[in-house]
Structure 1
Amino acid sequence: MANVGYMRVSTTDQDMSLQRDALQEYDCVRIFSDKISGSRSERPGLTDCLAYLRPGDVLVVWRLDRLGRSLKDLIERVTKLEGKDVHLCSITEQIDTTKAGGKLVFHLFGAMAEFERNLISERTKAGLAAARKRGRKGGRPRKLTDDQVAAMRNLWQGKEHSLAEIGAMFGVSKWTVRKWVVGE
């Protein structure tokens, strides 16, 4: 079992000393880093860190927000770590999933996130049902009329035009033409 550190700052002019010092106090055998916004999904240092981790290792971060972009993202990441038998330790929040209390905290986070997703889904369904009762249809309005679709089919069956050319004639992408003409 080894402690492996990960640290991140959002901009290149920010200093990582505070995080590095904290991770070194946890005897991390290796420390990975990124100087990139947490909102970016592509983080090379984190990717390398996750690939480096082995079963039984502990991923140590200074704060949870260094690891995940959102609570949902963080829970998904921790779930993947658990699946690889890798633990998580967050220094600032004092969460350590090698201990029962740390696991409990993450299960509570997961339950809250699932509860929030279910509430959003219920509200969305209720809103759509209320709109349908008032006679409103959901979804984006069709860009093409039935006559335009028929004309596109005739052009395609004539085999003189490509999907892209037909799309250009009607102001839509070749993928839209494919959807209506070819049926894919």
Structure 2
Amino acid sequence: MAKVGYIFIATNGEEYAEDKAWMQQYGCVQVIEELSEHERLRPMWKQLISSLERGDELVVSRFSNALRGTRELATFIEYCRVKVVRIISIQDRIDTFDELFPDTKPSQVIRMFGSLSEECAVLRKASAHIIHLQQNIRPPKKSERALSKLEREKNIVNMYNEGHSIDDIFAISGFTSRSSVFRILNKHGVTLNRGPHSGPLKKRNKE
């Protein structure tokens, strides 16, 4: 006989911190945390279910967190009934041994069944959103950073050749010093032909 907990981390992990602490205090030998990117297959959940033995206790945060619909819930309950596995759902306040939550009413259980599909849909949407952010919002690749740098330099050169002042170029360059603008112009062989500067920039002699 063993107690084990399961939490699917669909959103911010801090939301499940209290449930994890509850499971640990209850005596779970392990609290399995499934990551959002594994929502479709849930390999940890499948391993857990296949490892359950007669007399074990399975603690979940709530049924909509562990399961993905009423059909899956019905199959899960029947499986645990045959295996004589005790099910405890913390947030649903359900204990199949009727010991932990004696105040839970049948109406609350029915409400849980009725809202399960909607809660599962919300959970899956949150998980999909996280995966989308993880896959699409990333730091630019080295080649992209190099291209961006080259485009900025090209823009500085073009603006100077078109007659824009150094002040105007500096304002949109993103640099923190005007000398960086002159460095780019010098790098690309631009002849300075107005203002106090004329001809290519020369290296300063070290004193």
| TM-score normalised to structure 2 length | 0.44
Q: Which has the higher contact order (CA 8 A, sep 6+)?
A: 2
Bigger-Rg structure (1/2): 2
